[in-house]
Structure 1
C-alpha cells in the first residue's frame, strides 16, 4: 500500500462541491447547489469566480488558460476567459437528461459525460451496456460521440502519455479502460475493476497510473492500481470527487457531500431532497506518496 498521512478537513462551508481541478497553483471546483465556480486560494480562502444560472459540474482548462465548464441541465459546454461565459458547444441534441463530469486534454479536447435517469443506484447494472455516452468536443467546438452504451459515466482520467483513458461508470460499479488514439478517439474497451459495494464517482490519476476513486454511497476513497487491484482504502463520508494538486501534486483533495443530497436508492431516482441540509459539504486534504500525473 502507498503511504498516506492524516486527513485534514478544510474550514470552508459547502453543500455540494464537485469537479475539482488543480490549475495554476490553486484548486478550482464547482458548487452545484449554489451554482458557482470557485477557487481555493493558496492561503486557503474560498474565492467565488462565477455565479451562474444553471448548475455547473465538470471543469477543465484550455491550452490558453481559459476555463471550460459544464452547464448541467442546459446541456451546454461554456468557455470563460475573464469576461462573460460564452457557448463552446451545444450538446442538447445528444440523448440524455443532463451533462456531468468532464476531462480536458492538453490540446483542449473535452470529453463530457451525458447521463440519463433510466438507470438507478438501486439496481446493480452488472452487464456491459447502458443508455448513456461520452461526447468528445474538439477545440473548435465540433462534437461527436466518443463512447456509447455506458452506464452512468462519471469521472474520467487520461494517462500522462495520453494513450489510456479510465472512466468511472457509477451505477455499474466499475472502472472501464479505453485505448486512446492520437486523434482522441477511444478504442478497445475493457474492464479495469468490477466493484461490489463501491460506486466510482470522481477520479484522479497518479504517476504510477493508479486511479484514486471516490465512492459517495459507500463513503470511501480507494486507490486502484493499473493492474486493477485496490491498494488503499480511506473512509470519508460522502466522498464524491478528488484531485491531486499542491506542491509537486502530492496532495490529494477530496470533495464530499452530505449523503442526503445523493440520488436516493429509489429506482425512479426522484426521491425528495432535504430542504435545508445546511453547509454539510466539505473539502479534505491529505499527503500521498505518489504524485499526480496526466489529466485532469
Structure 2
C-alpha cells in the first residue's frame, strides 16, 4: 500500500484502507480472503454503523458505504471551500458519534479541523485547526478524546462535556524532548480496554502504548519506518494489527524496507475496548 491507514476490527474481520490509492480492504483471518473496493476519492477510514452498512471517511466528507454493491453515498460535505483538504482518521464515542479530523493533503496549511458526525449531521468542534490531525481516540468511559497534532509531535487530551463538546484540552504527550528525538511523528491513535493509548509513529519504526497517566508501557519495533496506526481485534480482542506506508520513501529506502506498506500483526496483554457502532 502507498499509505495504509484506518485499521479497524469489524464483525470478525480486519478493515483498512490505502488512502492515496482510494482503496478499501477487508481481510478475513479465518479464510485468508482479502477483498477490496475502489472508492471514488481518497478514503481515510471505514467504521461500523448501527443502522446500515459502514460509514467511510472520503476526501469530501463522510459517506455511507455498502460493501454488497460497492456504493458510496455522501452523508455530508466537509470543508467544500478547501479542495486540498481530506478526511484522515476517526473514532466512535459511547454515544455513537464519529469524531473525525481533516487535513491539508499537501501537508502545508493549518486547515485541518476536528468534526463530529452525530445522527447524520456534521458539526465543527472548537479544537484549534492544525495541518495534520490524527486520532481522535476515545477513552472506554467515553469522557476523554485524545487528539494528535502530528507535525507538532504532541497528543492533546480533551474532556468531553455532557453536551458532547470538548474542553480546551491539555498536553498529554509531548515528543519534542531530546530523549524522543528519533521517535518520529505520532500518527493514528486508539484506546484499549484499560484506557491506554496506542500510537503508530511515522518515521519512528515503532508503535507504542501509553498508560492513561502518560507512562510508556510497551514499544513494538517494525522492519518499516512508517507505522501509521494500530487496531486491536481477533477472537479475544488481543491481536494487534498495524498498517504502514511506502509514501515518501526513496528507492534506496524502499530497497531497505521491502515490507513497507504491509500490514503487521502482534499480540498484546490488554484487549480491545468494547466495540461501538455509529449512530448514523
Counterpart mapping for 1:275-290 below 5 A? 280-290=260-270
Counterpart mapping for 1:68-147 below 5 A? 68-72=55-59, 75-81=60-66, 82-83=68-69, 84-93=71-80, 97-116=85-104, 131-147=111-127
* From 200, 208, 216, the counterpart of 2:202: 216
Q: Distance in 1 between matches of 2:120 and 2:34?
A: 30
TM-score by length of 1: 0.78
Q: Distance in 2 between matches of 1:169 and 1:25?
A: 31
Contact 1:39 1:48 in 2 (8 A): yes
1:153 maps to 133
Contact 1:151 1:172 in 2 (8 A): no
Provide structure 1 residue ranges, at least 5 long, that are not aligned to the other structure. 1-13, 121-129, 265-273
SS in 1 for 2:212: coil
Counterpart mapping for 1:12-91 below 5 A? 14-43=1-30, 45-64=32-51, 66-72=53-59, 75-81=60-66, 82-83=68-69, 84-91=71-78
Contact 2:127 2:168 in 1 (8 A): no
Q: Distance in 2 between matches of 1:225 and 1:171?
A: 22
Q: Distance in 2 between matches of 1:153 and 1:76?
A: 15
Q: Distance in 2 between matches of 1:291 and 1:94?
A: 41
Task: Specify whether residues 117 and 257 from structure 1 end up closer, same or farther in structure 2 by C-alpha distance, changes over 3 A only.
Answer: closer
2:237 maps to 249
Counterpart mapping for 1:187-226 below 5 A? 187-196=167-176, 197=181, 198=183, 199-226=185-212
Task: Specify whether residues 172 and 281 from structure 1 end up closer, same or farther in structure 2 by C-alpha distance, changes over 3 A only.
Answer: same
Deviation of 1:181 after TM superposition, in Å, equals: 2.4
Q: Deviations over 1:209-249 (max 9, x none)?
A: 11111012111111111111212222222211110111221
Task: Specify whether residues 50 and 205 from structure 1 end up closer, same or farther in structure 2 by C-alpha distance, changes over 3 A only.
Answer: same
SS in 1 for 2:236: helix
Deviation of 1:184 after TM superposition, in Å, equals: 2.2
SS in 2 for 1:161: coil
Task: Specify whether residues 229 and 243 from structure 1 end up closer, same or farther in structure 2 by C-alpha distance, changes over 3 A only.
Answer: same
Over the residues paired in the alignment, what is the CA RMSD in angstroms? 2.6
Q: Which moved more, 1:210-219 or 1:79-88?
A: 79-88
SS in 2 for 1:47: strand
Between the two proteins, the alignment pairs up a number of residues equal to 259
Q: Distance in 2 between matches of 1:160 and 1:49?
A: 30
